Amino acid sequence: MCVGFWTLEHPQYALILCSNRDEFLSRPTTQARWHSFGAENEGESGTGAVLSGRDVLAGGTWAGISRTGRVALLTNITEPHGRYNSSRGTLTSSFLLPESSSATLQEEVDRILAQDARYAGFNLLLLCPSRSIDHGDGRCLSLEAAFLTNSGGGGKIKARILSETERRCGAMSNGIDYHGAAEWPKVRRGSQMFQDTLSSVHADTPESDLTERLFELLTWKSEVPPSDRTGLRDTIQVEPLQVPNAKPSGGTTSEPYGTRLSTVILIRRDGGVLFLERDIWTLDREGAVTKADPKQQRTYRFQIHIEDSVKR
């Protein structure tokens, strides 16, 4: 399971987003880096168009940002394992690296809705620079948002805009939209903690203080550790537990599952971006579960050129 919290309405930031990725610790994954969903132009200083980690098996990503300021966050829906003809990771990769750089958010949403494809259950947040507001002291970036879901494996994809409440303080995990997803303990507790964090952030708050508070939010754990998938809805950070893992070749094995990494993305109103990624639980070379050192985070900074990125 995964979880994410965001705001699009902070005075100093067009986006404050923090998220956890929960996954089998053995699933092949690359660390966040610049890339273009291919082998070329990859690396910490590469010239790729997208900054994200990548799922090696499926080829896509669960969360990422493009140089033009597009942001995608994907979570799965908790459900029995099934086989579908399309990978959810392509939903994020095709948005972050579109065929047409001039496509608006609505055009991208329409493209996804028109697909004749069946995906395992997913929730998807898409963000795109939409306008620049002149406050008298320069151009001010804002983001347009859409939420897409198929409400479960093989379901029809539906889309909606975020409510004003969701723009101020939004959350997304592995539940079904309008069917109790907002009531999951991890979502309710995390949303309150996120609101408290936003209330404590002022114009003179150091960026490092804000990011540490967001990472601290992502460490919250329930008093009773989950013992199966059902209990994962009760805790934001998942300490490793043994969970059945269905294999493509058939059959299942019990493998360690937990919070793989945490990500924080800040986009200032002037277009400055800070992207931070921290490993949480990993497997060492012998396959033993290990708690990662938070000081070994990946840090990226870059500038969105507002006039080039905003679609009018």
Lowest mean pLDDT, pick from 151-155, 157-161, 194-198:
151-155
User: Does the predicted TM-score (pTM) go above 0.75?
Assistant: yes
Over residues 41-88, the pLDDT tens digits come to 555 556 799 999 999 988 899 999 999 999 999 999 999 888 887 889
* Count of domains forming the chain: 1
What's the one-letter identity of residue 184? W
**Which pLDDT value is given to residue 47?**
78
Residue 301 has pLDDT above 90, yes or no: yes
CATH at 152: 3.60.60.10
What is the edge-to-edge ordering of all strands in the sheet holding 29-35?
29-35, 50-55, 63-66, 71-76, 122-134, 139-149, 158-161
What's the one-letter identity of residue 49? A
Exposure pattern of 60-97 as b/e (b: 16+ CB <10 Å)?
Answer: bbbbbbbbbbbbbbbbbbbeeeeeeeebbbbbbbbbbb
Over residues 95-125, the pLDDT tens digits come to 999 988 889 999 999 999 999 899 999 999 9
**Which pLDDT value is given to residue 46?**
66
Kindly state the helix (H) or strand (E) to which residue 265 belongs, with its residue range: strand 252-268
Domain residues for the domain of 109 are 3-309
**Which pLDDT value is given to residue 135?**
52
In the chain, the percentage of residues whose pLDDT exceeds 70 is 92
Lowest mean pLDDT, pick from 28-37, 126-135, 178-187, 259-268:
126-135
Give the position of tokens 């093989």.
154
| pLDDT band at 137; cut points 50, 70, 90 | low
Q: What is the mean pLDDT of residues 271-297?
A: 96
Over residues 181-217, the pLDDT tens digits come to 999 999 999 999 999 999 999 989 999 999 999 999 9
Give the C-alpha separation, 297 to 274, whole Å.
Answer: 12
Over residues 236-273, the pLDDT tens digits come to 999 999 998 887 666 788 999 999 999 999 999 999 99
**Which pLDDT value is given to residue 292?**
96
Residue 312 has pLDDT above 50, yes or no: no
**Which pLDDT value is given to residue 81?**
80
Beta bridge partners of residue 170, listed in sequence order: 6
Q: What is the mean pLDDT of residues 275-299?
A: 95
**Which pLDDT value is given to residue 231?**
92
